[in-house]
Amino acid sequence: MNIHIRNGFQECRKASQSEAMSQLIAEVRAARQLPAPALAREIRRAAGVSRDRLAAELGVHPVTVTRWESGTRHPRGTLRVAYAQLLGQLAAEVGQ
């Protein structure tokens, strides 16, 4: 294999690993920033956002949001990151 091609593969692998690490760090931060289920519901309600609208923004079923807000289920991975970010933005808008 040509040295230039091998170096290109190594650079791509490093970039991929870096992206994976960035995603992991984002997930850890989101886990720490995700409010308790009851507070998440309170933030959503204070912002005047329906469960249906929040679910649509996140690409999940409204029942999923109900389960998150009741504490019977918890968002994971990229959904956890998106949910935490959205709740943080809503909280900032309503002053919580």
- Checking if the pLDDT of 67 tops 90, the result is yes
Domains of the chain: total: 1
List the domain range (segments joined by +) for residue 9: 3-94
Q: Which of 62, 59, 53 is nearest to 90 (CA)?
A: 53
d(CA 92, CA 43): 9
Q: What is the pLDDT of residue 4?
A: 53
Q: What is the pLDDT of residue 41?
A: 97
- Checking if the pLDDT of 14 tops 80, the result is no
pLDDT bracket for residue 6 (50, 70, 90): low
We report the CATH number of the domain holding residue 64 as 1.10.260
Tokens of 78: 């990229």
Average pLDDT score over residue span 89-95: 93
Distance of CA 49 to the CA centre of its chain: 18
Q: What is the pTM of this model?
A: 0.72
Q: Which of 58, 53, 41 is nearest to 94 (CA)?
A: 41
